[in-house]
């Protein structure tokens, strides 16, 4: 579960992970934070969870050290599992995801993120497209409730690795996103031309625009639920 940076508070806020994590539904609900690093779990505690930090290396918030592919917990013991920027670093992410499914209670939630077009980093094995990410959860038994871009373009991710100056990378990312928006406007304008002239080309253009939401992203965040 090695990473180039620990999932601390600033990382959670930067990628707005909070918008995919539901509030605890009952008192004493337990959350497992896989790959916790130095993140204190304050947000999870504030929305009602008792948090267990789990990582392959000792960190400020690590309660238990272990591998993400083999979780040392009984079946059906957590209401929530979080796994931020971890799956791409597992040698067998499918086994890791199945392990999370096993330790969640029926109806339990997995909130996670993973890399797509982010460059190779910190022994990353697998980078997933949105379809691959969806398939990862679905093959493990989860019902996928939500999948969304991190809002972090591949160009910005590359610059972050080339020149580790967050402000510069963010500015470059905004410029790239502006170019991508103009590109989408152009594609949409062309699609309108075919709306009455060629229905098949119009339909393909609409499908292309939908896929464009995911095409240049550094990664994705997902919400999955264990079946009851």
Confidence band of 14 (pLDDT split at 50, 70, 90): low
Angle at 138 between CA 19 and CA 153, to 5 degrees: 50
168 pLDDT exceeds 90?
no
What is this structure's pTM? 0.87
The pLDDT of residue 225 is above 90: yes
d(CA 167, CA 190) in angstroms, rounded, equals: 35
How far, in Å, CA of 100 to CA of 75, rounded? 9
Give pLDDT, residue 11: 65
DSSP letters along 137-156, please?
Answer: HHHTTPEEEEEEE-S-BHHH
Whether residue 3 is predicted with pLDDT greater than 50 in this model: the reply is no
- Residue found by looking up tokens 């379809």 in the block: 131
**Residue holding tokens 């639920």?**
225
Helices (H), 5-153: 9-14, 42-46, 93-103, 130-139
pLDDT tops 90 at residue 177? no
Say what angle helices 199-215 and 166-193 make with each other, to 10 degrees.
170
**5-14, 21-30, 206-215: lowest mean pLDDT where?**
5-14
Pair type for strands 50-55 and 104-115: unpaired
Angstrom distance (rounded) from CA 224 to CA 110: 5
Residue 5 has pLDDT above 50, yes or no: no
Q: Please name each of the domains of the chain with its CATH number.
A: 9-150+218-225 (3.40.50.150), 154-215 (no CATH)
Confidence (pLDDT) at 10: 55
Cα separation, 129 vs 54, whole angstroms: 26
Predicted pLDDT at 149: 92
More confident of the two residues 14 and 58: 58
Return all residues near 143 (Cβ < 8 A) that are at least 6 apart: 224, 225, 227
- Alpha-carbon gap, residue 25 to 37, rounded angstroms: 26
């Amino acid at each position: 579960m090695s990473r180039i940076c620990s999932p601390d508070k600033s990382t959670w806020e930067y990628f707005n992970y909070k918008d995919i994590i539901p509030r605890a539904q009952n008192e004493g609900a337990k959350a497992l934070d896989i790959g916790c690093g130095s993140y204190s779990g304050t947000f999870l505690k504030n929305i009602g969870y008792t948090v267990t930090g789990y990582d392959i290396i000792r960190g400020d918030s690590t309660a238990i050290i272990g591998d993400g592919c083999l979780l040392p917990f009984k079946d059906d013991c957590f209401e929530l599992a979080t796994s931020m920027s971890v799956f791409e670093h597992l040698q067998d992410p499918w086994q890791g995801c199945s392990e999370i499914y096993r330790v969640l209670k029926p109806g339990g939630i997995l909130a996670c993120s993973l890399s797509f077009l982010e460059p190779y980093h910190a022994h990353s094995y697998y980078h997933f497209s949105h379809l691959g990410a969806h398939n990862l959860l679905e093959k493990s038994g989860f019902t996928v409730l939500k999948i969304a871009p991190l809002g972090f373009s591949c160009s910005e991710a590359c610059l972050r690795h080339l020149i580790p100056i967050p402000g510069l990378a963010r500015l470059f990312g905004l410029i790239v996103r502006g170019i991508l928006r103009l590109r989408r406007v152009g594609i949409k304008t062309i699609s309108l031309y075919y709306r009455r002239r060629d229905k098949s080309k119009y339909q393909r253009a609409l499908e292309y625009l939908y896929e464009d939401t995911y095409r240049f992203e550094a990664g994705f965040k997902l919400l999955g639920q264990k079946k009851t």
